[in-house]
Amino acid sequence: MSELLRIENLSAGYGEAVVLHDVAFTLGEGQTLALLGRNGTGKTTLINTLAGATRQHGGSISLGGQALHKIAPHLRAAAGIGWVPQERNIFKSLTVHENLTAVERPGKWNPQRVYEMFPRLAERKTNLGTQLSGGEQQMLAVGRALVLNPRLLLLDEPLEGLAPIIVEELLRAIRRITQDEGLAAIIVEQHPQAILAISDEAVVLDHGTIVHTDSAASLRSQPQVLDRLLGVAR
């Protein structure tokens, strides 16, 4: 398996405040990484840093050999980053279909494939973003990232605040995107067991540094370790 992402000695934060300290790990093509940690440990900051939305103080980020830390945020999508932030950031004044076609790039993912994965969106393709439920907005945010045809998908708490039936639907979609379609992903989530079940590797952050790395399967099978690291065994 060839290497896709390499992060070395990464320090980053907001303004002069440094949140991440000397973070380093690699991710292979087609692999899924569960990024775990208690609240406020730097998980979102790491995702935002990969997308270019923070101030980087040191270190390097490369995607497929290209130095991401040297290019502006708007160029990172073209380089292969698909970002689904916590806030979703869909275009609420546009329809579902316009949200997808506005950012679509050539590749195997197009609006029709998104509709096949999320039939709810197909039923609401003429609805404005403001007319969607929270779960539908999350599906649209994922779909909008996919039509960029990225090499790496960044998902920041994709299940947060959603009804259980929507959580299951999104988990099935994420499993298909990553395991069946082979798209590499980094997923931040407060439900560790759910995400570890569909991930290959796991990294745990604490106070902006990596305190534990393991295979997802190994960490999932050790609830006592999860409890010690996260305070949540299940």
Query: Residue 126 to residues 72, 89, 98, 123, 147: CA-CA distances in angstroms?
Result: 33, 18, 8, 8, 18
The reply to whether 64 falls in a domain is yes
Nearest to 143 by CA among 167, 116, 161: 116
30 and 139: one domain? Answer: no
121 and 175: one domain? Answer: no
Residue 233 has a pLDDT of 46
161 and 126: one domain? Answer: no
The reply to whether 201 falls in a domain is yes
12 and 73: one domain? Answer: yes
17 and 76: one domain? Answer: yes
65 and 180: one domain? Answer: yes
State the DSSP string of the chain: --EEEEEEEEEEEETTEEEEEEEEEEEETT-EEEEE-STTSSHHHHHHHHHT-SEEEEEEEEETTEEGGGS-HHHHHHHTEEEE-TT----TTSBHHHHHHHH--SSS--HHHHHHH-HHHHHTTTSBGGGS-HHHHHHHHHHHHHTT--SEEEEESTTTT--HHHHHHHHHHHHIIIIIT--EEEEE-S-HHHHHTT-SEEEEEETTEEEEEEEHHHHHT-HHHHHHHHS---
How much of the chain exceeds pLDDT 90, in percent? 93
67 and 113: one domain? Answer: no
Residue 234 has a pLDDT of 44
pLDDT at 218 over 90: yes
Model pLDDT for residues 94-109, shown as the tens digit of each residue: 999 999 999 999 999 9
Domain that holds residue 45: 3-80+150-230
The CA distance from 128 to 118, in Å, is 16
Please state the domain count of the chain: 2
The reply to whether 198 falls in a domain is yes
Q: What angle do CA 168, 92, 158 make, to 5 degrees?
A: 25
138 and 159: one domain? Answer: no
Q: Look over the chain and give the mean of its residue pLDDT values, rounded to a whole number.
A: 95
The reply to whether 187 falls in a domain is yes
Given 98, 123, 144, the domain boundary residue is 144
Q: What is the CATH number of the domain that holds 168?
A: 3.40.50.300
71 and 107: one domain? Answer: no
The reply to whether 26 falls in a domain is yes
Model pLDDT for residues 95-146, shown as the tens digit of each residue: 999 999 999 999 999 999 999 999 999 999 999 999 999 999 999 999 999 9
10 and 28: one domain? Answer: yes
Overall pTM > 0.75? yes
104 and 171: one domain? Answer: no
134 and 167: one domain? Answer: no
The reply to whether 36 falls in a domain is yes
Burial 204-223 (b: 16+ CB within 10 A, else e): bbbebebebebebeebbeee
The reply to whether 108 falls in a domain is yes
Whether residue 141 contacts residue 160, with contact meaning beta carbons closer than 8 Å, is answered with no
Model pLDDT for residues 24-72, shown as the tens digit of each residue: 999 999 999 999 999 999 999 999 999 999 999 999 999 999 999 989 9
The reply to whether 85 falls in a domain is no
Whether residue 209 contacts residue 21, with contact meaning beta carbons closer than 8 Å, is answered with yes
